[in-house]
Amino acid sequence: MDSSIPFFIALSVFTAWLLLLTYLYLDSVKHYKTLSINRGESLDKAINLIFKGLEQLHGEQAKEKARITKLEKDSLRAVQKIFLKRFNPFEDTGGNQS
């Protein structure tokens, strides 16, 4: 067996491995570039912008929770002094209508 055949097999495997790694690297770079919100902005800026939006939403959520708590307190006193009054429109008929 010639000693050059194992060398070419190893070289072919190594070349295929490098081509696979190159493809995966270029695909990940392409995916990284598509993750930015606006063209020209980095992914870090896009993530920071998303976090600022989340902080704003958390602030609004805290305000709404306080508002709901206040409304729940107020609703406990909203319905008071309710009673049922018996209504009999025809007193002379002898039958109660209600």
Mean pLDDT of the 55-69 span: 96
Write the secondary structure of 25-74 as one string of H (helix), E (strand) and C (coil): HHHHHHHHHHCCCCCCCCHHHHHHHHHHHHHHHHHHHHHHHHHHHHHHHH
Per-residue pLDDT of 73-87, as tens digits, reads 988 887 777 778 777
The tokens for 79 are 């319905």
For residue 54, pLDDT over 60 is answered with yes
Does the pTM of the predicted model rise above 0.85? no
Question: pLDDT at position 35, please?
Answer: 72
Per-residue pLDDT of 3-49, as tens digits, reads 889 899 999 999 999 999 999 999 998 887 777 656 666 777 878 88
How would you class 46 by CB atoms within 10 Å of its CB: exposed for 0-12, middle for 13-18, buried for 19 or more?
A: middle
The structural domains of the chain, with segments of one domain joined by +, span 29-76
Question: pLDDT at position 76, please?
Answer: 84
